[in-house]
A and B are shown apart, each in its own frame.
Chain A
Amino acid sequence: GAGVSQSPSNKVTEKGKDVELRCDPISGHTALYWYRQSLGQGLEFLIYFQGNSAPDKSGLPSDRFSAERTGGSVSTLTIQRTQQEDSAVYLCASSLTSVGGEQYFGPGTRLTVT
């Protein structure tokens, strides 16, 4: 079946602009996660959605970052007033439920802030 999809695959933006990154999880998966991976670094947890519950935003690095998930499916990660340190690959993952933790990743969006 179809895996997690993300768009765009690459995004180049000027410092100070806002960007929106999209994630479409595997059909039927109730949990959705956003991570960030900087060059040569590990995965940094950003935010987690489980069904209709309030999201766990504990990993968001600043109030410039926000995310929403509409209808329990597609999610959008928004970064306002982008900074050069926001440059990274943004990865989305989904899992069938939040119990157990088997997460499946999308291909990622490479964000470059110039």
Chain B
Amino acid sequence: QKEVEQNSGPLSVPEGAIASLNCTYSDRGSQSFFWYRQYSGKSPELIMSIYSNGDKEDGRFTAQLNKASQYVSLLIRDSQPSDSATYLCAVFRGGANSKLTFGKGITLSVRP
């Protein structure tokens, strides 16, 4: 089982719709969870972080975490063409060998 798994995509939604991006992880000791956005040819940009179960909202973005199900998701409301990018889920485990593990990412395309 991959440590951090995302649906391969791509995901296409019409402008104004809700885009739902999902991620599962295998390490139950994981403590912190992140979503990065990566435009083509650019480096990843941190857009959301979540540390406890439940929802965290920031503008049009909502991150959801369910540690029991080892599941983290990102909802993008009122999707815009400028949201078209690859979204990377990342899971952090602290301790002596702290490590941030990335999923392979899912490409989102928002159709005007």
Residues of chain A at the chain B interface (Cβ within 8 Å): 33, 41-43, 45, 48, 50, 56, 58, 89, 91, 98-108
The B33-56 residues at the A interface (CB cut-off 8 A) are 34, 36, 42-46, 49, 51
Tell me if B69 counts as interface (CB < 8 A to partner A).
Answer: no
B92 in contact with A101 (CB, 8 Å) = yes
Closest chain A residue to B93, Cβ basis: A101
Q: Is the CB of A105 within 8 A of B45?
A: yes
Looking at the assembled complex, report how far the CB atom of A69 sits from the nearest CB atom of chain B, in whole angstroms. Answer: 16
8 cross-chain CB contacts under 8 A: A56-B99, A91-B43, A99-B98, A100-B31, A101-B98, A104-B46, A105-B43, A105-B45
Complex Cα distance, B4 from A45, in Å, reads 13
B32 touching A101, Cβ below 8 Å: yes
CB-CB contacts below 8 Å: B83-112 with A: 88, 90, 92, 94, 97-105
How far apart are the CA atoms of A50 and B46 in the complex, in Å?
20
From DSSP, what is the main secondary structure of chain A's interface residues? loop
Query: What are the residues of chain B within 8 A of A48 when measuring CB–CB?
Result: 98-99
Whether the pair A41, B104 counts as a contact (CB closer than 8 A) is: yes
9 additional A-B pairs beyond A99-B98, A100-B94, beta carbons within 8 Å, are: A42-B88, A48-B98, A91-B43, A98-B94, A100-B51, A101-B90, A101-B100, A106-B43, A107-B43
- Is A42's CB under 8 angstroms from B94's CB? no
What is the distance, in angstroms, from B2's C-beta to the closest C-beta of chain A? Answer: 10
- 8 closest pairs, A vs B, by CB? A101-B92, A42-B104, A105-B43, A43-B102, A101-B32, A98-B98, A101-B100, A108-B43
